[in-house]
Structure formats: C-alpha cells, structure tokens
Amino acid sequence: MSQAVIHASDADFDATVLASSEPVLVDFWAPWCGPCKMIAPALDELASEYAGRAKVVKVDVDRNQATALKYHVRSIPMLLLFKDGQVQATQIGAVGKPVLAQMIDKAL
C-alpha cells in the first residue's frame, strides 16, 4: 500500500497531525523554496516506506500562516516530528533522507 504525502492546512492541522495515533513528520515549506523542492522526493519515499506506521504531512507556509506562526517557523524547510500531539524533534534546512528516517524511527 503506497501512501502519499498529506497536505494539511490551518483548518485541518489539528485533526491531521495533533490527533494522529501515529508519529507525524511535518514539512513546513513553500512552492518558491528551492531546498524544499530538493527534499520533496525523499519525503514522498518516506511516506510510502512508513505507510501504516507514520505519516508525512506538508504545510504550505504561505497559505497556512497561522500554523506556521504557532510553531515559530522562521526558515524553511523546517521539519517537526509530532508524537501524541507534541513536538518531539525539529530539523531546519534541507537534509538527506537518512536524517529524516532517523527522526521518524526515534518516535516509533
């Protein structure tokens, strides 16, 4: 079963991320951000590889400024790992897939 990256908005962030029974890796990004585009393929792969165990969610900071402000997103890409509605780990900047996988693994 292949699971795609989920796109969340201000309106459904709490239901999609905070209420999730699985750990959630959230990518705060924007369409104009080069490094954000660089890590997108890795996020797609992780979404498939961790399907059923963890979720990968993207939040467009231009369209969802309330959520970006709530989590103090000042530079993108910024990745937050949530478990049980709490931030467990933060990664700022484009990093390789192994680093992101390790963030998820620590929460599983």
pLDDT exceeds 50 at position 1: no
Kindly state the average pLDDT of the residues 76-86. 98
Return the active site residues. 33, 36
Kindly state the average pLDDT of the residues 75-100. 97
pLDDT exceeds 90 at position 88: yes
Task: Give the tokens for residue 21.
Answer: 């029974």
Kindly state the average pLDDT of the residues 76-87. 98
Q: How far is CA 24 from CA 32, 34, 43, 71, 101, in A?
A: 24, 23, 12, 15, 12
Domains of the chain: 6-107 (3.40.30.10)
**Which DSSP category does 31 fall into?**
T
Is the overall model pTM greater than 0.75, yes or no?
yes
What tens digit of pLDDT does each residue of 3-61 get? 689 999 999 999 999 999 999 999 999 999 999 999 999 999 999 999 999 999 999 99
